[in-house]
Chains A and B, each alone.
Chain A
Amino acid sequence: MALDRTIVARIATLARIKVSDSELDALAGELGSILAWIEQLNEVDVSGVAPMTSVAHMKLPMRDDKITDGGDRDAILANAPQEARGFFAVPKVVE
């Protein structure tokens, strides 16, 4: 069962991936069949079960308040597709 085209379009916008009209239908079909397959999870009784967000068996480690990083602008900008006067340059953002 395919996903609704408008939903796919909205999701694609949320994810900032341009999807052409022709791709939209194919995607709607593929996503629909994946989601249909996932429906089986509704059979499971999860009442009273706490969600598991991590399998790490430990407490959150904390770091000291020391300056141990930064200060290497060249390294930060070396891979930039476009850079100007030490800034990252992108097409203008309108607020």
Chain B
Amino acid sequence: MSNLVKGRTGDWEVVIGLETHAQIVSDAKLFSGAATAFGAEQNTQVSTVDAAFPGMLPVINRHCVEQAVKTGLGLNAQINPVSIFDRKNYFYADLPAGYQISQYKSPVVGKGEVVLDMPDGERRHIGITRLHLEQDAGKSLHDQHPTMTYVDLNRAGVGLMEIVSEPDLRSAEEAGAYLRKLRSILRYLGTCDGNMEEGSLRCDCNVSVRRAGETKFGTRAEIKNVNSIRFVMQAIEYEARRQIEILEDGGSIVQETRLFDAHRGETRPMRSKENDFDYRYFPDPDLLPLELDPAWIEGLRRGLPELPDARKARFVAELGLTPYDADVLVAEKSHADYFETVAAGRDAKLAANWVTGDLFGALNRLGKEIEASPVSAPALGELLDLIRDNTISGRIAKDVFAAMLETGKSAGAIVEERGLRQVTDSGPIEAAVEAVLAANADKVAEYKSGKDKLYGFFVGQAMKATGGKANPALLNDILRKKLSA
């Protein structure tokens, strides 16, 4: 197993489970009618229900329930027809009610899985333990004032899906792959936008280690609220090493909650009172059990978009793409959609090369998302058509593409304007080749006496003479004939 970590006294296995909090895409909050949009002025998206004023009561948002069920279906998970909302009781400045409405013993979604295709070709099945609905808390700002913390409740009450993985991950790399895959599924479904910088996706990492071959789990530490995939991987690596060092020195791991300090690349313990681990869960008496109609669930299942795994399989089976190319294209739904538009009725492999190579390269350079691509999918398709029908060569197409990016004009317009049509008439090509051979009689003689490398020189000169527009295959044909004459 390549995932083992070498310690001083032997090999160690790292065991990781991830709890991901995904903010639900919805207009209003989970239990109130306040807005959820990111970036509003503090406390301008707060209902008296969110602020837990006296006498306020929760009413659940149907759309949030739908989003959770759709996510469960996308994770191939068991949808529980009856689930219960519980209160999780604890005191914190950004938790106005002194409790969070969550789900404890009876979540809305049960066991499922996420499939990872690792770069070494291995296929890993990562179990999902459960998914439940809960409220997000507000935001505490500790750095605005020397002695005061400032509280903004805009985020309080926004719907979250907590997605818990089984402790099936065995490396930081796998954890990264899992998060990327999960994020991709959520974005395909439209149930979470996966924007980790804005906090729509946050991850708590449970990390423990054990000696290679050991079957019992070691004591784990929980690293809370890591907000980028890169940091998750760093935090896991740091924590694994930290724990291995402690155990090799004969110490033991304290089960505790830790934070990841991104500046130092370290995890450190959180300062919370021990007592607060008693959340005193009980069913929320302001709500009733959530009962889902099987027909309604079926309806949601039928309405699901094609998900990454299925789309990848289809790209490989029906469009003949390599698994690697398919993987790259399906990672983001918008990319896959773009590609399919380009590939429709065309050579899929050619389309894949242009999209993953030229287009993605250009977008990276320009710092743009595909939604803002200067070259639309139909426009790129038109370019590929011009290659296929021999109007231009593949080489010229690259120049045309560059011009399309710059000017926003269509491929056809640029080819016409700049006179880039490929020369497919043998007449002008023959003339060009004859002229080159005539002007370089000495090199012709050298070639004929064995200097094969000069062939490329003749190609280059002839191509230049045609302004780069000679059809390469035809030019080769004519040149060979003339040289062997």
Evaluate contact between A88 and B288: CB separation under 8 angstroms.
no
Chain A residues closer than 8 Å to B33, beta-carbon distance? 63, 66-70
Evaluate contact between B47 and A93: CB separation under 8 angstroms.
no
Q: Confirm or deny: B32 has a beta carbon within 8 angstroms of a beta carbon on chain A.
A: yes
Q: Confirm or deny: A76 has a beta carbon within 8 angstroms of a beta carbon on chain B.
A: yes
Chain B residues closer than 8 Å to A56, beta-carbon distance? 288
Give A47-95 interface residues, CB cut-off 8 Å to B: 53-54, 56, 58-71, 73, 75-77, 82, 84-95
Instruction: For chain A, give the interface size range.
Output: 35 or more
Majority secondary structure, A binding face: loop
Chain B residues closer than 8 Å to A14, beta-carbon distance? 275-276, 278, 280
Q: Confirm or deny: A16 has a beta carbon within 8 angstroms of a beta carbon on chain B.
A: yes
Chain B residues closer than 8 Å to A87, beta-carbon distance? 42-43, 141, 144, 150-152
Instruction: For chain B, give the interface size range.
Output: 35 or more
Majority secondary structure, B binding face: loop
- Which of A60, A65, A68: most chain B CB closer than 10 A? A65
A91 touches which of B60, B149, B152, B273 (Cβ 8 Å): B149
Chain A residues closer than 8 Å to B153, beta-carbon distance? 76, 88
Q: How far is the CA of A45 from the CA of B437 in the complex (A)?
A: 108
Q: How far is the CA of A84 from the CA of B149 in the complex (A)?
A: 10
Chain A residues closer than 8 Å to B42, beta-carbon distance? 73, 85-87
Evaluate contact between B48 and A75: CB separation under 8 angstroms.
yes
Are A63 and B151 CB-contacts (below 8 A) given A68-B33, A73-B46? no
Q: How far is the CA of A71 from the CA of B42 in the complex (A)?
A: 10
Minimum Cβ distance to chain B for residue A93 (Å): 5
Evaluate contact between A63 and B271: CB separation under 8 angstroms.
no
Q: Confirm or deny: B26 has a beta carbon within 8 angstroms of a beta carbon on chain A.
A: yes
Q: How far is the CA of A61 from the CA of B286 in the complex (A)?
A: 11
Evaluate contact between B35 and A65: CB separation under 8 angstroms.
no
Minimum Cβ distance to chain B for residue A85 (Å): 7
Give A24-62 interface residues, CB cut-off 8 Å to B: 53-54, 56, 58-62
Evaluate contact between B148 and A92: CB separation under 8 angstroms.
yes
Minimum Cβ distance to chain A for residue B303 (Å): 16
Are A84 and B150 CB-contacts (below 8 A) given A14-B275, A95-B142? yes
Evaluate contact between B93 and A70: CB separation under 8 angstroms.
no
Are A10 and B28 CB-contacts (below 8 A) given A86-B41, A87-B150, A93-B93? no
Chain A residues closer than 8 Å to B285, beta-carbon distance? 53-54
Evaluate contact between B271 and A95: CB separation under 8 angstroms.
yes
Are A76 and B28 CB-contacts (below 8 A) given A53-B285, A92-B142, A95-B259? no
Chain B residues closer than 8 Å to A76, beta-carbon distance? 43, 46, 48, 51, 153
Q: Confirm or deny: B216 has a beta carbon within 8 angstroms of a beta carbon on chain A.
A: no
Evaluate contact between B60 and A65: CB separation under 8 angstroms.
no
Evaluate contact between A70 and B62: CB separation under 8 angstroms.
no
Q: Confirm or deny: B248 has a beta carbon within 8 angstroms of a beta carbon on chain A.
A: no
Minimum Cβ distance to chain A for residue B195 (Å): 20
Give B364-415 interface residues, CB cut-off 8 Å to A: none
Evaluate contact between B288 and A58: CB separation under 8 angstroms.
yes
Evaluate contact between B35 and A70: CB separation under 8 angstroms.
yes
Q: Confirm or deny: B270 has a beta carbon within 8 angstroms of a beta carbon on chain A.
A: yes
Nearest to A77 among chain B residues (CB) is B43
Chain A residues closer than 8 Å to B276, beta-carbon distance? 14
Q: How far is the CA of A60 from the CA of B41 in the complex (A)?
A: 33
Q: How far is the CA of A91 from the CA of B149 in the complex (A)?
A: 6
Q: How far is the CA of A65 from the CA of B59 in the complex (A)?
A: 11
Q: How far is the CA of A54 from the CA of B286 in the complex (A)?
A: 9
Chain B residues closer than 8 Å to A92, beta-carbon distance? 142, 145-149
Q: How far is the CA of A69 from the CA of B61 in the complex (A)?
A: 13
Q: How far is the CA of A50 from the CA of B226 in the complex (A)?
A: 40
Are A60 and B142 CB-contacts (below 8 A) given A68-B33, A70-B50, A94-B271? no
Minimum Cβ distance to chain B for residue A74 (Å): 10
Evaluate contact between B34 and A70: CB separation under 8 angstroms.
yes
Chain A proximity mask over B80-113: 1 for CB below 8 Å, otherwise 0: 0000000000011100000000000000000000
What are 19 A-B interface contacts by the 8 Å CB criterion?
A14-B276, A14-B280, A54-B288, A56-B288, A60-B290, A65-B64, A71-B34, A73-B42, A73-B43, A73-B44, A76-B51, A84-B144, A85-B150, A87-B43, A88-B151, A90-B151, A92-B142, A92-B146, A92-B148
